[in-house]
Amino acid sequence: MCFLCLFVAYSLFKMRKTTFLKRKVREFSFIGRALASTRHPVLAHLIPMRRCNLACGYCNEYDHNSKPIDLEIVKSRLNKLADLGTSIVTISGGEPMMHPELDQIIHHIRLHGMIAGLISNGYYFTPDRINRLNKAGLEYLQISIDNVDPDEVSRKSLRVLDKKLRYLSEYADFHVNINSVIGGGIKNPDDALTVARRAVELGFSTTVGVIHDVDGTLKPLSEKEKDIFQQVKKLGNKDHARLNWFQDSIAEGKPYNWRCRAGARYLYICEEGLVHWCSQQRGYPGIPLEQYTMEDFDREYNTEKWCAPTCTLQCVHQVGILDNWRDPQKTPAQMSEEQKSGVGQMIGAD
Ligand code: SF4
Ligand code: SF4
């Protein structure tokens, strides 16, 4: 290697190390803030585009014809999330890389001092596109890879995406996590292990998820799937494994007892700008983000979710850990009784 190449490699290494440290400091400060106060969202998933270039067999989150949401509308939603005190905004879809103004969206998240993340199927990454995302200030990217070779359930396949992963390994300044999956009709569970090994080889972190079925709830794993699941977990990020102990119960087909804070600490904002509990429970509470108040926040924070025991959504579980030890929740029936008696007291009724 010539001197110039060595110098470039060293500068790149130094730059990545500094970026990594800055990101870690920001992460810790956000965690500290989340532990100190329960009254702000920790993570919001924002959908600027429902359209996707793929059609995975287990997915209920895409269409093939919707238009990108106008940049100014997306910015106004981000402004509102910032006003609510949101720490992390992850752009998701559909396939968000199809949004023509994704860079400006990422940049706007960073202007507000929020952490910027992206979930993508990986198809659109080129060196130029990665450099533009670096400049925009993207901090985290997650790609889920479902199998090694494409099949009728999924084309999010290692063979198709390997070149894109190599580009990311070479050019990305942001953190890349590769999530492999088990369950949900994925034919060959061994593929999850192949995907995770390749991710580690390329210097990415890796996680494994149990895929939810179409209504967002649990699909029990076979013995073979359970075995692969444990092997992949060992290859992955230790911190992540510690945060995801709920998955052991789910893999065994057992319900898991936790407090889902969706609608409060976690928000899912659909392309129409409505707040939902999550991607799998769209319609609740279904309130426009611009009208969302801390009263809505408190109600959802304190409401027990009927779907929690079999929920497989990793990111909402991780947010839930921050408050699992405090503020027991009430059932929707108890909440509405409380609200009625509150109104009764206010108007002096029996
Ligand atoms: S790539 Fe993602 S959004 Fe698109 S169909 Fe597959 S799972 Fe759904
Ligand atoms: S428990 Fe929470 S995150 Fe899971 S499906 Fe229900 S509302 Fe969504």
Per residue of the chain (350 residues), what is the pLDDT tens digit?
A: 454 444 444 555 555 667 777 877 888 888 899 999 999 999 999 999 999 999 998 889 999 999 999 999 999 999 999 999 999 999 999 999 999 999 999 999 999 999 999 999 999 999 999 999 999 999 999 999 999 999 998 999 999 999 999 999 999 999 999 999 887 667 788 999 999 999 999 999 999 888 665 555 566 788 888 889 888 888 876 656 556 678 888 778 788 899 999 999 999 999 999 999 999 899 999 999 999 999 999 999 999 999 999 888 989 999 999 999 999 999 888 887 876 665 444 433 33
Q: Is the CB of 78 under 6 A from ligand 2?
A: no
Q: Which residue's CA is the nearest one to ligand 2's atom 2?
A: 260
Q: Is the CB of 181 under 6 A from ligand 1?
A: no
Q: Is the CB of 214 under 6 A from ligand 1?
A: no
Tokens at 125, concatenated: 């990454």
- Residue that has been written with the tokens 């979710």 in this structure: 305
Does the predicted model carry a pTM greater than 0.85? yes
Q: Is the CB of 48 under 6 A from ligand 1?
A: no
CA 335 to ligand 1 center in whole angstroms: 35
Q: Is the CB of 263 under 6 A from ligand 1?
A: no
CA 142 to chain centre: 8
